Chain A
Amino acid sequence: MTAGSESGRIAGNLMRFARVLRKAGLPVGPGRMLEAIGAVEAVGMENREDFYWTLHAVFVNRQDQRELFDQAFHIFWRNPRLLERMAGLTIPAPMDEQPAGHEEISRRVAEAMMDPADASQNNGESESEGETEFDASLTWSRGEVLTSRDFEKMSTAEMREARKAIARMRLPIMDVPTRRWRPDPAGARADMRASLRAAMRGGGDIIPLRKRKQQRRHPPLVILCDISGSMEVYSRMFLQFMHAITNDRDRVHTFLFGTRLTNITRHLRHRDVDLALDRVSGAVQDWAGGTRIGQCLHDFNRDWSRRVLGQGAVLLLISDGLDRDAGAGLGAEMQRLHMSCRRLIWLNPLLRYDAFEPRSLGVRAIMPHVDEFRPVHNLDSLKTLTEVLGQPGGRRKESMAKWREIAA
């Protein structure tokens, strides 16, 4: 084999590897590709470890991309037949060489390698049934249906699509005035410091009046999410939503509660969504169990409310209000919670039923102490939530009067 054909094969493999990385979400363009080929030529391919770090230096430019790169590298460069197996939609048996802690291949890496364009040149053969379904879910009409479909009734493929849609969501929370100022020609107040500085620049003959304006900023956002059995389908979806918000802005605090309260803010801050959710499931011990809303809110009020609800936070309470303790002590805790935040918005997936009646004791205990009561069961309702948060909004809403009356 001549040297030329050898390097040509390497280039081809590198190109395929780069495509896999791009599919997995790393920003890899043709420029990077060329750099990678140059770098590999410069370093050589004698040593596997050198090869790894050469590609790492070229393709990875953020700390949270390391996991994905690491998995993709080990899978791609170890077993050339792997891609074919992937195309058959079977996750390969754990390889003995695989480093500890990486037994499970990241879903995104797997998906990226599974993609028909990458898996094989021979499209006709490799397109298995699963992939056909995946393609179908990408069509436009399907997307329309998706926005109004209940999370609970979604198939796995639809769930995946919904997760993607959620990851793209942005949350324009309202701005509130702060006590800081910034220069603004149309401002209401004179900025003396800037004015005099400008005067001296002109020699002091004229003092041009500079103005300043009050800065505005969004308040902190605190999310309390119920992860009890009755909420299971929804809470997994909301985790995706919470991850998207947490990484979109500062001052977001997230708590999960079932029978006990867990602060997952730090776990969600990881940019890679799979890794973040992995850490969350590691940290939370009461998935899909019972709910003790009163006790959990009590813990929140005592340990956290003073630490995260300062500075006028907006609070999202995501729960169906079904309480194992039948609302014991819930009213008082809700009142305290309501008094400590700027605005309390209750999101209840049960509200999707037109005939929803706030009859359960938990719901009736919560109802008097919320500023807003909204359904949250599909993509549409999540979208309207972003609109609601965007409005400044007073503390008391007319629409709440009806609910309070029914619940009383």
Chain B
Amino acid sequence: MTASLPQSVDETLALLRQGNYVADRSLATALYLSLSLGRPLFLEGEAGVGKTEIAKVLSSALGRKLLRLQCYEGLDISSAVYEWDYPRQMIEIRLAEAAGDRDRGTLTEDIFSERFLIKRPLLQSLEPDLNGPPVLLIDELDRTDEPFEAYLLELLSDFQVTVPEIGAIKATQRPIVVITSNRTREIHDALKRRCFYYWVDYPNAERELEILRVRAPGTGERLSAEIVGFIQALRSMDLFKLPGVAETIDWAEALVQLDQTDLAPGAVDDTLGVLLKYQDDIARIQGSEANRILTEVKAELAGTE
């Protein structure tokens, strides 16, 4: 199923909601601008706040193909853009030699034709697609190095790739580009300038509760409220790594799996590893501190009922 692009911020919000993504209006605005003006969307934020998910939801809701480029240190053209199929090229040369019927000019053209071109995500994203231009997700850009960033600059402004043996390949329709970064390194201003920037923050309690309803529907209403209260309290503390939305959902699922209908001190201590990923943080929260937060959350919930 293919859907047309949203025509307003409200429609964008509805589109994300349809893909089970609960978004802030500010995020929907940035996304709408990037879709309607054909510029990449640059999402930055802590790990586990749902940056990658946006691209996935977008591709499924719009019915477009999702092309994902996971970045890593040393990512180069041959794994990001294109590569020649060397073994097959060599066989082709050998065959031509054995047959002895082709002249050199045609052999060169033959060897470096599209038949032997292995397309990687960036080149694939420029190809026309029946369902409309694909969604290109460039994930965790901060993991690569500056030279690759510089290469992206060219691609993102012209949507064109030059293969020396073939020539320039240009996109007829621009793909929808979503770039994410965890900020383990600052991305250069030149690249950010070409994108719509959005900082994905932790959601507030109300929105987080809504996210839990959508993403972990098996969780009871009371348990959800307690989970959200507990996590919001954790986020106001001075921890090395605060739990993200992904952790909230994981925790809810873990607690449901353990047949908890209500947050109990023992269960919190046992499952703290789902929420906090640093030993220092766990040691600080486990036991009395967890108890204190839990009592507060419960008291607050009892007050509102």
CA distance A407 to B28 in the complex (A): 56
A306-B184 in contact given A207-B90, A332-B280 (Cβ < 8 Å): yes
**Chain B residues with CB under 8 A of A311:** 73, 145, 184-185
- Closest chain A residue, CB of each to CB of B146: A250
CA distance A178 to B72 in the complex (A): 12
- Closest chain A residue, CB of each to CB of B77: A193
User: Is A310's CB under 8 angstroms from B142's CB?
Assistant: yes
Residue in contact with B107 in the complex, picked from A193, A204, A250, CB distance below 8 Å:
A204
Contact with A along B81-112 (1 / 0, CB 8 A): 00110100110010011000000100110011
A306-B183 in contact given A204-B104, A301-B240 (Cβ < 8 Å): yes
For residues 232 through 269 of chain B, which have their beta carbon under 8 Å from a beta carbon of chain A?
238, 240
* Any B CB within 8 A of the CB of A180: yes
Residue in contact with A207 in the complex, picked from B93, B96, B108, B186, CB distance below 8 Å:
B93
**Chain A residues with CB under 8 A of B238:** 302
Task: Give the B interface residue count (CB, 8 A).
Answer: 31
User: Is A302's CB under 8 angstroms from B240's CB?
Assistant: yes
User: Is B104's CB under 8 angstroms from A203's CB?
Assistant: yes
- Closest chain A residue, CB of each to CB of B47: A306
Given A179-B72, A307-B184, 7 extra CB contacts under 8 A: A178-B145, A179-B73, A180-B147, A196-B89, A203-B104, A310-B142, A311-B184
* Any B CB within 8 A of the CB of A199: yes
How far apart are A306's CB and chain B's nearest CB, in angstroms?
Answer: 5
- Closest chain A residue, CB of each to CB of B184: A310
CA distance A155 to B165 in the complex (A): 66
- Closest chain B residue, CB of each to CB of A250: B146
* Any A CB within 8 A of the CB of B127: no
CA distance A393 to B186 in the complex (A): 27
How far apart are B238's CB and chain A's nearest CB, in angstroms?
Answer: 7
**Chain A residues with CB under 8 A of B184:** 306-307, 310-311
CA distance A180 to B74 in the complex (A): 5
- Closest chain A residue, CB of each to CB of B183: A307
User: Is A204's CB under 8 angstroms from B93's CB?
Assistant: yes
* Any A CB within 8 A of the CB of B76: yes
A307-B185 in contact given A178-B145, A193-B78 (Cβ < 8 Å): yes
For residues 136 through 193 of chain B, which have their beta carbon under 8 Å from a beta carbon of chain A?
142, 145-147, 165, 182-186
CA distance A193 to B86 in the complex (A): 8
How far apart are B87's CB and chain A's nearest CB, in angstroms?
Answer: 9
What are the 10 tightest A-B residue pairs by CB atom distance, in nearest-first order? A179-B74, A310-B184, A203-B104, A192-B86, A200-B108, A204-B93, A310-B185, A204-B107, A179-B73, A180-B74
* Any B CB within 8 A of the CB of A336: yes
**Chain B residues with CB under 8 A of A203:** 104, 107
CA distance A302 to B281 in the complex (A): 12
For residues 93 through 152 of chain A, which have their beta carbon under 8 Å from a beta carbon of chain B?
none
**Chain A residues with CB under 8 A of B76:** 180-181
**Chain B residues with CB under 8 A of A193:** 78, 83-84, 86
**Chain B residues with CB under 8 A of A200:** 107-108, 111-112
How far apart are B239's CB and chain A's nearest CB, in angstroms?
Answer: 9
- Closest chain B residue, CB of each to CB of A205: B97
Contact with A along B210-248 (1 / 0, CB 8 A): 000000000000000000000000000010100000000
- Closest chain A residue, CB of each to CB of B74: A179
Contact with B along A305-332 (1 / 0, CB 8 A): 0111011000000000000000000001
How far apart are A222's CB and chain B's nearest CB, in angstroms?
Answer: 12
Interface set of A (CB-CB < 8 Å, partner B): 178-181, 192-193, 196-197, 199-200, 203-205, 207, 250, 301-302, 306-308, 310-311, 332, 336
- Closest chain B residue, CB of each to CB of A202: B104
A196-B111 in contact given A179-B74, A307-B184 (Cβ < 8 Å): yes
CA distance A169 to B8 in the complex (A): 57
- Closest chain A residue, CB of each to CB of B87: A192
- Closest chain B residue, CB of each to CB of A302: B240
CA distance A193 to B107 in the complex (A): 17
How far apart are A299's CB and chain B's nearest CB, in angstroms?
Answer: 10
Residue in contact with B108 in the complex, picked from A181, A204, A205, A302, CB distance below 8 Å:
A204
User: Is A178's CB under 8 angstroms from B74's CB?
Assistant: yes
Pull 5 A–B residue pairs with CB atoms less than 8 Å apart, ordered by A. Answer: A180-B145, A302-B240, A306-B182, A306-B184, A336-B240
- Closest chain A residue, CB of each to CB of B112: A200
- Closest chain B residue, CB of each to CB of A203: B104
**Chain B residues with CB under 8 A of A332:** 280
CA distance A336 to B278 in the complex (A): 11
How far apart are B79's CB and chain A's nearest CB, in angstroms?
Answer: 11
User: Is A196's CB under 8 angstroms from B142's CB?
Assistant: no
**Residue from the set A178, A181, A205, A310 with the largest chain B CB neighbour count within 10 Å:** A310
- Closest chain B residue, CB of each to CB of A313: B185
**Chain A residues with CB under 8 A of B183:** 306-307
CA distance A180 to B150 in the complex (A): 15
CA distance A301 to B107 in the complex (A): 59
- Closest chain B residue, CB of each to CB of A181: B76
How far apart are A8's CB and chain B's nearest CB, in angstroms?
Answer: 49
How far apart are A252's CB and chain B's nearest CB, in angstroms?
Answer: 13
- Closest chain A residue, CB of each to CB of B143: A310
CA distance A260 to B194 in the complex (A): 34
**Residue from the set A178, A196, A199, A302 with the largest chain B CB neighbour count within 10 Å:** A196
For residues 43 through 86 of chain B, which have their beta carbon under 8 Å from a beta carbon of chain A?
72-74, 76, 78, 83-84, 86
**Chain B residues with CB under 8 A of A197:** 165
- Closest chain A residue, CB of each to CB of B78: A193
How far apart are A219's CB and chain B's nearest CB, in angstroms?
Answer: 11
**Chain A residues with CB under 8 A of B146:** 250
CA distance A302 to B89 in the complex (A): 52
How far apart are A329's CB and chain B's nearest CB, in angstroms?
Answer: 11
A199-B93 in contact given A180-B76, A204-B107, A204-B108 (Cβ < 8 Å): yes
How far apart are B54's CB and chain A's nearest CB, in angstroms?
Answer: 22
**Chain B residues with CB under 8 A of A250:** 146
**Chain A residues with CB under 8 A of B280:** 332, 336
CA distance A207 to B107 in the complex (A): 14
**Chain A residues with CB under 8 A of B182:** 306
**Chain A residues with CB under 8 A of B147:** 180
How far apart are B251's CB and chain A's nearest CB, in angstroms?
Answer: 22
How far apart are A376's CB and chain B's nearest CB, in angstroms?
Answer: 28
CA distance A391 to B42 in the complex (A): 39
CA distance A308 to B184 in the complex (A): 7
CA distance A307 to B183 in the complex (A): 6
